[in-house]
Chain A
Amino acid sequence: MSSSHSYPHEPTGVETRKLGMWVFLSTEILFFGTLITTFMIFKGSDFPGMKLTDVYDIPFTSISSFILLMSSLTMVLAHNALEANDQEKTRVWLLATAMLGAVFLAGQIYEFTEFYHKGFELTTNIFSSSFYVLTGFHGLHVFIGVVLLLALWGIGQRQKGLTLEGGMNLEFVALYWHFVDIVWIVLFTIVYLI
C-alpha cells in the first residue's frame, strides 16, 4: 500500500532515481577529467619510444566511433518506442543498442591487440600507460553499459514488459549510455585527433 498521497516526495519534480543518476554522472565527469588531465600532461612531456601516431589506424577507429554514436540514436529510438508503449520495438532497439556497443568493444579489443603486436605496450612509455588506462577505463564503462542494456532487454522479455517507472528503468540506463557516448567523443578528439 502506498502512502504517497500523505507523504509527498520529489519537491523538485525530478524522479528520484533519475536525479541520483545525474549526481552519479557529475562525479563521473571528475573521474574522466582526472584521467584526461593526466593524459594531456604526459602527452606533452618528453618520452622515449613509440607514439600513438606510429601505430594507430584513424579510419578504423573513426568507424568504431561512428558505430558507438549510432548506438545513442538507437537508444533514443528505444525510448520513443517505449513512450508509445510499443514493447516489441523497444526490445528490438535495446538489443540493437547493446549490439552496437558490443561491436565497439570488439573493435577496441582488436585495436589494443594490434597495438601490442606492433610493440605499443602498457609499459612501453608513460604515454602508452596513460593511453591504455584512459581508454581502458572508458571501455569498462561501455562494457557495464552493455550489461545494463542486456539486463533491461531481459526484463523486457517478462510478461509485464518494460515501463518508464520504477526499478532499473530505461531512462536511467539511457542517461548513462548517452554519457558514455559523449565521453567517447571527447576522448576520440583528444587522444586520436589532436
Chain B
Amino acid sequence: MTKIIEPSKQSSIFRRPSSETGIWSWITTVDHKRIGIMYGYAAFFFLLIGGLEALILRIQLSQPDNNFLTAAEYNAMFTMHGTTMIFLAIMPISAAFFNYLLPLQIGARDVAFPRLNALSFWIFIFGGAFLYSTFIFGTAGAPEGGYLAEEVGWLGSAPNGGWFGYQPNAGMKYSPGTAMDYWAIGLQILGIASLISAFNFITTIINMRTEGMRFMRMPVFTWMTFAVSFLLAFSLPIIAIALFYVTFDRKFGTTFFLTEGGGDPILWQHLFWLFGHPEVYILILPAFGIVSEVLPTFSRKPLFGYAAIVFAGFGIAFIGFGVWAHHMFASAISPVAQAGFGLSTMVIAVPTGVKIFNWLGTIWGGKLKLNTPMLFSLGFIGMFVIGGLSGVTHSIVPADTQQTDTYYVVAHFHYVLFGGALFGIFSGLYYWFPKVWGKMYNESLGKIHFWLMMIGFNLTFGPMHWLGLQGQVRRTWVYAEETNLQFWNIVVTVGAFIIALSIIVFMINWIFSKRNGEIAPFDPWDARTLEWTIPSPTPVWNFSTAPIVKSLDDFWHTKYSEDEDGRAVKRKEADQILLELEEDGLNPSEHIALPNPSYFPIVLASGLPFLGYAVIYKSIPLALIGTVLLLIGAFGWGTEPLEEEIHLDSDE
C-alpha cells in the first residue's frame, strides 16, 4: 500500500508544505496524532526539568542550615518547580492524551479544527520557551533592606514569587526585576494555548461523534476530556484577567492588588484560586478518565456504574468552582465564608468517593491481569485515596490553620497530583504504548519502574506528613539543627532520588521498546473502546470507514456474548472479526481527504513571545515584529483553504 500525494496547485504566501516525513512534516502537521505525540515529548521534557528542580530543592533540604542554594535561588527553584510541573508538564501530558485519543474514541477522523489544534500546541511550546528564557534574560532583585539582598546568579534569575504569585509579594516592590513579568506573561501565553484546545475539544466531542456514538455511549476518558475542557474554558479567563492586572501593576504603575493605591491583595487570591482550584481538577480528571479505561480492561469486566462515574466527574467539575476559598482560610476571610467553604470542601469529597467505590466495584470479582498499566492504576487508587483523605482534613478550618504553609500541605497535594495524576498518566502511557508505536513495551522493566516509583514516591511524600505536623514550614530554604527534622528530611531526599531512578528505567524501557520491542498484536489488551478496532500504529486516516456504534463498549460486545449466568463468553467468530478489522483498517476502500499541513499555526504562535517581550521591555520594535508575525499568520490562515487538491489515496 502506498500513499500518493498530489502536488499542491494553489500557492499561498508560502508554498504549501507537502513533505510527509522529516522535521518539516512535524512542524507543519495538523494531524491530531502527531500533535499528541509532540505534546507528549515536550511535556515529558519539561517534566524532567521540573524534576531536576525538585532534586535541587531536596539536596538543599537534606541537611539543616545547608548552603547549597541561597535563599533567592531556593525561591526561584520552588517557583519554577511548581509552575513547570503544573503548566508545562501535567497539563500538556493530559493534552497529549486528549489529542491522540479523543478523535479515536469517538470514531472521528480528526478534531473539529485541526489547524487550531496545531496552533495551541505551538503556542504552548513558545509559551514554555518564553517562560524559561527568564534564565537567560530575566533579572530578579531583592527588595531594599530585605535579607535576600545578595548577588543573584543565573539560577536565581527566575520567577521567585511562587506559582501562586501572591500579591503584593510578587509585585514590583518586593519582587523587583523582570523575572515575575516573565511568569505573568508566560502563564498568559500558556493559558491561550489551553483555552484554544478547550474550544476545540468541546466542539469535537459535541459535533464529531460517529454514527450511534451517543453521549451515554462515550468512553469515560472522553467524558473526562469533556469535563476538563469545560473547566479550562471557564476558569482560564479568570486567571487571564488577574494576570492582566498583575502585568499592569508591575509595568504600568496601577495598583489593582497593592494596598497603598487602594487595591486589594485578597482580590488576587480570590481570582487566582477561583482559577486555581478548578485547575486541580483539570490536572486530576484526565487521570480519572485513564484509570476508568484501564481498570475494566484488565479486570475483564464492564466499568461498574458507568453513569455514576460520568455524573460524578461532572459533579466534581461543577462543585470545583465553589471551593476556592479553602486555599484562603488563613487569609482575612469572614467566619461565615470559612464555614461555607469548609462545607463545600467536604461535599466535593462525595462525588470523588463515588468514583473510588465504582472503581473498587469494577475490580471486585474480576479476573485481574496485573500488567504495568493495571499496577499503575491500582497504585493510583491507593495513593489518591491517601491524598484525598488528607485533603478532607483541610476542610476543618481550625486544623487547616495549623497545617497552612507546612509540609503537611505539600504532602497532601503531591499525593493527589503525583500519586494521583502522574500515576494515572503513567498507566495511560503504558496502556496506549502499543497503540501509538505498534510495539509492546518491556513488561519486566515496566514493573520495575512501577515498584521503584511506588517506593520512592512514598519515601518522598509520606514523611512530609509528619515533618509538616512537626512544624516544618514550606517555601523556606533552611531549617535549624535544633528542630530535629533532619532524619526524615534525609529520607525524603533519598526517596526523591529513587523516583529519579524509576524515571530513568521508564525512559530506557520507552526508547528500547519503541525501537526493538515486539510487534504489538492487534488489540493486545482485549480492550473495549474504538481506538483498538484499528491497526497499530494508527493509520494517518484513523478509520477506513466511519464506525457505527450500537452500544456502550461496542467493541467488547462484538467479541463477547453472555452465557445464561451472565458470564462473558468469547464468540466463535471473534478472531475472524479482528482479522477483518485489521485488513479493512489498513486498506481504505475510498478516497480519504485529510486536512493539509500548514505553516501558519507556527507562524501565528511565534508572534506571541515577541509581544510578551515587548510588554516587559516596553519596546515598540518588538511589538511591531510580534504584530507582523500575527498578521502574516492570520492572513495566510484565512486565505488558505483547509483541504485542497491533495488526496491521500490507497492505490489498489
Q: Which residues of A contact B (CB under 8 A)?
A: 1-3, 6-12, 14, 16-17, 19-20, 23-24, 26-28, 30-31, 33-35, 38, 41-42, 45-48, 122-123, 125-126, 129-130, 133, 137, 151, 155, 166-168
In the complex the two chains form, is A1's CB within 8 Å of B255's CB? no
In the complex the two chains form, is A123's CB within 8 Å of B253's CB? yes
In the complex the two chains form, is B113's CB within 8 Å of A129's CB? no
Q: Beyond A8-B211, A19-B203, is A126–B240 a contact (Cβ under 8 Å)?
A: no
Contacting residue for A34 out of B208, B242, B590, B641, CB 8 A: B242
In the complex the two chains form, is A129's CB within 8 Å of B546's CB? no
In the complex the two chains form, is B208's CB within 8 Å of A1's CB? no
- List, sorted by A's number, 13 A–B pairs whose CB atoms are closer than 8 Å: A3-B593, A11-B209, A19-B112, A20-B199, A24-B199, A27-B198, A27-B234, A27-B237, A28-B237, A42-B263, A122-B253, A125-B262, A126-B261
In the complex the two chains form, is B236's CB within 8 Å of A27's CB? yes
Which residues in B have their C-beta under 8 angstroms from that of A14? 207
Q: Beyond A6-B545, A129-B255, is A34–B238 a contact (Cβ under 8 Å)?
A: yes
Complex: A16 Cα to B204 Cα, angstroms = 8
Which residues in B have their C-beta under 8 angstroms from that of A26? 233-234
B202 beta carbon closer than 8 Å to chain A: yes
Which residues in A have their C-beta under 8 angstroms from that of B590? 3, 6
In the complex the two chains form, is A45's CB within 8 Å of B241's CB? no
In the complex the two chains form, is A48's CB within 8 Å of B262's CB? yes
Complex: A37 Cα to B435 Cα, angstroms = 47
Closest CB in chain A relative to B104 CB, distance in Å: 14
Closest to A30 in B: B237
In the complex the two chains form, is B245's CB within 8 Å of A38's CB? yes
Complex: A147 Cα to B202 Cα, angstroms = 27
Closest CB in chain B relative to A51 CB, distance in Å: 13
B300 beta carbon closer than 8 Å to chain A: no
Interface size on B, residues (CB 8 A): 47
Q: Beyond A8-B546, A27-B195, A129-B248, is A16–B203 a contact (Cβ under 8 Å)?
A: yes
B69 beta carbon closer than 8 Å to chain A: no
Closest CB in chain A relative to B35 CB, distance in Å: 17
Complex: A129 Cα to B251 Cα, angstroms = 13
Which residues in A have their C-beta under 8 angstroms from that of B593? 1-3
In the complex the two chains form, is A3's CB within 8 Å of B591's CB? yes
In the complex the two chains form, is A20's CB within 8 Å of B245's CB? no
B244 beta carbon closer than 8 Å to chain A: yes
In the complex the two chains form, is A20's CB within 8 Å of B647's CB? no
Closest CB in chain B relative to A36 CB, distance in Å: 10
Which residues in B have their C-beta under 8 angstroms from that of A31? 237, 240-241
Complex: A110 Cα to B649 Cα, angstroms = 58
Max chain A CB contacts within 10 Å: which of B109, B112, B237, B638? B237
Complex: A123 Cα to B248 Cα, angstroms = 10
In the complex the two chains form, is A34's CB within 8 Å of B237's CB? yes
In the complex the two chains form, is B254's CB within 8 Å of A122's CB? yes
Max chain B CB contacts within 10 Å: which of A16, A41, A45, A48? A16
Report, nearest first, the 8 A-B pairs whose CB atoms are least far apart.
A30-B237, A129-B254, A34-B241, A126-B262, A31-B237, A20-B203, A1-B591, A123-B253
Closest to B204 in A: A16
Q: Beyond A3-B591, A9-B207, A41-B264, is A30–B254 a contact (Cβ under 8 Å)?
A: no
